Amino acid sequence: MGSNYKAASRLSDLELTRSDLKTLLKATAKMEESLRKMDNKFEVIDETLLTSSRRVAPLQSLAMATKALETRINRAVTPALALLDNFKLSESIQHKLLELSEKMSTEKSMSKRLKKLVKYVDCVDQLKVSIDCICQEGEPVIQRLQEVVEFLSRTKATDQYRTHRLRETLVTLKALYETEVDAMRFEGLLDEALLNLQDEYESILEQIRHRNVVELQAADKDDGGDEMVIMGSDLGTELEVELLRRISQTLAADDCLDICIDIYVKVRYKRVAKALMRLNPEYLKSHTTEEIDEMPWESLETAITLWIQHFELAVKAVLVSEKKLCEQVLGGIMEGLIWPECFAKIADKIMAVFFRFGEGVARSSKEPQKLFKLLDMFDSLEKLKPGFSEVFDGESGADICIRFRELEKLLIHASSKVFWEFGLQIEGSSDGLPPPPDGSVPKIVRYAVNYLKYLATENYSVAMAKVLRTEQIWKAGILSKPETDENLLRDAICNIMEALQRNVEAKRSGYNNNSRENLGISIPLPHVFAMNTYWYIYMRTRNTELGKLLGDQYLKKNYKVVAEESAYMYQKQAWVPLVRILEQDDLEKQSKEARVGLVRLKIEAFMKGLDDISKRHKGFCVIPEVDLRQQIRSATVKLVIPAYTEFLNSFSAALQGKSYLSPESVQEVLGQVFDDGDGKLKRRGSRDRTGGGSSGMNGRIKEFRRSRSNTSDS
């Protein structure tokens, strides 16, 4: 029974399945019919679309051609419209320029005028840009427009009316471009505006002036500093400098750079020259060697002093300010390559005048007195050198720096040559004068001593030593090891002193030694001359910078000792013969009557000899140094008075009845001899002949000799 139930259930399922299949088959048949009908409809639509496509295809081609034509026309017309706009803008800017130009011409306030000038420069720049655009775009625009017109004419893509209008526009634009552009660039308002800017540029440059250099010179003197201090000041106001910078850039952009540079250099050179002319440098007109040699020494000395001051002032004040202004105005042109050359052109003209004078002085005749001014010039250049190199740096300033160094070389050579030629002149007795007839110090010795004393001062010793060292390096090579500055200067001055000593000895030997003699009494002028001269050198040199440089031992050995030896020889030859007249050895052998006569002869011979030597001293012998004269007088008194006193005391009886000078009177006569007295002997009565005073005067010539030896050892 169970199996029957299962069979019946399966049968029922199969029947349901069969029923579903029948339904599905019917639905499939209907769908197939629907698809067939739909396929028929698609075929109809496809035929319709094909027909429509055949009808629309010409219109589509026409639309694409129209679009391409529109694009081509727009490519030509749009730039043309922009070109026309630039023409309109250019015309507008030109009207504005004319208005600003009129306002500037009537403006009296300088500050307001400069502000309007700023706007004027802006308009010029705008006009330049507008004209440049027209020039750059004009030909391509006309070319494109012409191509479109030719295309439309050839293809007849549009109606003839539109083609004709486009052709007329092309002709008008082409004619406008060809006639107006060149005029706008070279003959129009832009050219006039550039000329106006050049005038304004020159005017502003002319108005910018330097401070009063005379006041600067006075301020620099008050400072009194040795080192160079850059004291250049700002030139012009900020607005003036900005305007000059803008105008320079505008002119450079408009192919007027050469004109701009010419104006700048010309005007600023004049301003610098006028600033320095306030110092009244008339001396700079004399610059050749012949003109320098013809100048009186006082004038040349003043000119060199002014040259030193003006040279320094020109560099550290005037040209420093010019350099700063030049950089501010022209620094933005060509990446800063122009302004150094412009500054160099200005400075070169100014410095050339100073260099020319300095070179003329250095090449002029080598007179001894020029040494100190040459050293002043050299020392001033040495102090200027660091700042000078800073002001004239770079390639543009190379020529000026080279000329600066050449001037230094000339001054070194000139200073050295003057110094050594001075020594040669001294040694060669180039003064051409005979020895002084009175045994006084010759002028050349006085001149040479004062000359070397001045050279050894701090003001000149450093510069002279530097000159000598530089000369030595040039001769021996830069790798040589020169002596210290002090040794170089000492050796050089010692050479001059030795030349001076040879000069003195030559003059000393020039005395003919034929002085008038009486009873063996004469004035030894060679010894007087040597005594005066060497004592003068010693006394004028010690306790000075020259004495410190030479050394105390050098001075004593070469001058003091020689002077003392000459003084001893003077005493020996001038006064010892007078004293020998009073010797008593030959009187002891005589009879009483003969002794009286001989005593009187001796005393008369002594008086005559004293009178004679007194007169000769007055007329032929001079001891100008007070201290030396006092020493010689003291030694002479010690030599003569004791001998005379002893003679009077020994033979007073034989001298009765006649009046003779007392020792005090003789001492007074000796005092007059060495004090430039009249030297006349005055007789006194017999009661004065044996007066006192002999007790303190027992010195002899030996004492003077001992004094000499003691002094030389001190």
Say yes or no: 162 and 265 in one domain.
no
Lowest mean pLDDT among 414-423, 479-488, 634-643: 479-488
Q: Are 496 and 422 in contact (CB under 8 A)?
A: yes
Q: Is residue 651 very low, low, confident or very high in pLDDT (cuts 50, 70, 90)?
A: confident
Q: Is residue 363 very low, low, confident or very high in pLDDT (cuts 50, 70, 90)?
A: very high
Percentage of residues in the chain having pLDDT higher than 90 = 16
The answer to whether residue 711 is domain-embedded is no
Say yes or no: 422 and 457 in one domain.
no
Lowest mean pLDDT among 161-175, 274-288, 329-343, 431-445: 161-175
Q: Is residue 356 very low, low, confident or very high in pLDDT (cuts 50, 70, 90)?
A: very high
Say yes or no: 424 and 471 in one domain.
no
The answer to whether residue 43 is domain-embedded is yes
Q: How many CB atoms lie within 10 A of CB 547?
A: 17
Give the residue ranges of DSSP H helices in 208-313: 213-223, 238-253, 257-277, 289-294, 297-313
391: tokens are: 């002001």
Mean pLDDT of 409-431: 85
**pLDDT higher than threshold 50 for residue 712:** no
Mean pLDDT of 492-503: 89
Three-state helix/strand/coil letters over 507-529 = HHCCCCCCCCCECCECCCHHHHH
Residue 215 has a pLDDT of: 65
**pLDDT higher than threshold 80 for residue 379:** yes
Query: Could you read off the pLDDT of 288-347 as tens digits, one per residue?
Result: 889 998 999 999 999 999 999 999 988 888 898 889 999 998 888 888 888 999 999 999
Mean pLDDT of 230-243: 78
Residue 52 has a pLDDT of: 66
pLDDT: is 478 or 21 the higher one? 21
Say yes or no: 145 and 33 in one domain.
yes
Question: Rounded CA gap, 499 and 445, in Å?
Answer: 11
Question: Rounded CA gap, 688 and 645, in Å?
Answer: 12
Residue 33 has a pLDDT of: 83
Say yes or no: 155 and 210 in one domain.
no
- The DSSP string of 121-132 is HHHHHHHHHHHH
What is the chain's mean pLDDT, rounded? 77
Domains in the chain, number? 3
**pLDDT higher than threshold 60 for residue 515:** no
**pLDDT higher than threshold 80 for residue 80:** no
Q: Are 554 and 547 in contact (CB under 8 A)?
A: no
* Domain span including residue 469: 443-673
Q: Are 410 and 363 in contact (CB under 8 A)?
A: yes
Q: Is residue 40 very low, low, confident or very high in pLDDT (cuts 50, 70, 90)?
A: confident
Say yes or no: 564 and 649 in one domain.
yes
Mean pLDDT of 663-686: 60
498: tokens are: 């030795």
Lowest mean pLDDT among 28-37, 544-553, 569-578, 645-654: 645-654
Mean pLDDT of 660-665: 81
Say yes or no: 154 and 263 in one domain.
no
The answer to whether residue 322 is domain-embedded is yes
Q: What is the CATH number of the domain that holds 345?
A: 1.20.1280.170
The answer to whether residue 226 is domain-embedded is no
Residue 153 has a pLDDT of: 64
Percentage of residues in the chain having pLDDT higher than 70 = 70
The answer to whether residue 683 is domain-embedded is no
Question: Rounded CA gap, 103 and 108, in Å?
Answer: 10
**pLDDT higher than threshold 90 for residue 122:** no
**pLDDT higher than threshold 70 for residue 228:** no
Question: Rounded CA gap, 10 and 609, in Å?
Answer: 198
**pLDDT higher than threshold 90 for residue 362:** yes
**pLDDT higher than threshold 70 for residue 27:** yes
Residue 53 has a pLDDT of: 65
Mean pLDDT of 447-462: 91
Question: Nearest-5° angle of CA 501, CA 504, CA 508?
Answer: 140
Nearest by Cα to 454 from 539, 544, 387: 544
Question: Rounded CA gap, 279 and 314, in Å?
Answer: 11
Question: Nearest-5° angle of CA 207, CA 213, CA 217?
Answer: 165
Lowest mean pLDDT among 93-107, 417-431, 555-569: 93-107
166: tokens are: 């486009």
Radius of gyration of the chain (CA): 58
Helices 561-574 and 626-650 pack at an angle, to 10 degrees, of 30
Residue 12 has a pLDDT of: 81
Q: Which residues of 364-386 are buried (b: 16+ CB within 10 A; e: fewer)?
A: bebebebbbbbbbbbbbbebbee
The answer to whether residue 582 is domain-embedded is yes
Residue 415 has a pLDDT of: 93
End residue of a domain, out of 399, 429, 459:
429
Nearest by Cα to 193 from 333, 98, 119, 114: 98
Say yes or no: 548 and 448 in one domain.
yes
Q: Are 124 and 200 in contact (CB under 8 A)?
A: no
- The DSSP string of 169-198 is HHHHHHHHHHHHHHIIIIISHHHHHHHHHH
Mean pLDDT of 603-621: 78
Helices 189-207 and 2-106 pack at an angle, to 10 degrees, of 60
26: tokens are: 């019917």
Question: Rounded CA gap, 435 and 526, in Å?
Answer: 9
Three-state helix/strand/coil letters over 369-433 = CHHHHHHHHHHHHHHHHHHHHHHCCCCCCHHHHHHHHHHHHHHHHHHHHHHHHHHHHHHCCCCCC
- The DSSP string of 636-698 is HHHHHHHHHHHHHHHTTTTTTTS----HHHHHHHHHHHHTT---------GGGTT-S--TT--
pLDDT: is 599 or 393 the higher one? 393
Question: Rounded CA gap, 539 and 556, in Å?
Answer: 10
**pLDDT higher than threshold 50 for residue 686:** no
Residue 211 has a pLDDT of: 73
**pLDDT higher than threshold 60 for residue 708:** no
Say yes or no: 101 and 207 in one domain.
no
Nearest by Cα to 424 from 473, 486, 368: 368
Query: Could you read off the pLDDT of 190-203 as tens digits, one per residue?
Result: 778 888 888 888 88
462: tokens are: 């450093």
Question: Rounded CA gap, 644 and 666, in Å?
Answer: 9
Query: Could you read off the pLDDT of 570-609 as tens digits, one per residue?
Result: 888 878 888 887 776 666 666 566 666 777 787 888 888 8
Q: Is residue 375 very low, low, confident or very high in pLDDT (cuts 50, 70, 90)?
A: very high
Burial of 664 by CB count in 10 Å (0-12 exposed, 13-18 middle, 19+ buried)?
Answer: middle
- Mean pLDDT comparison of 52-66, 436-450, 618-632, highest-scoring range: 436-450
Residues in the chain: 714
Say yes or no: 521 and 666 in one domain.
yes
Say yes or no: 168 and 264 in one domain.
no
The answer to whether residue 376 is domain-embedded is yes
The answer to whether residue 72 is domain-embedded is yes
Three-state helix/strand/coil letters over 424-486 = HHHHCCCCCCCCCCCCCCCHHHHHHHHHHHHHCCHHHHHHHHHHHHHHHHHHHCCCCCCCCHH
Query: Could you read off the pLDDT of 158-173 as tens digits, one per residue?
Result: 656 666 666 766 676 6
Residue 671 has a pLDDT of: 79
Say yes or no: 505 and 535 in one domain.
yes
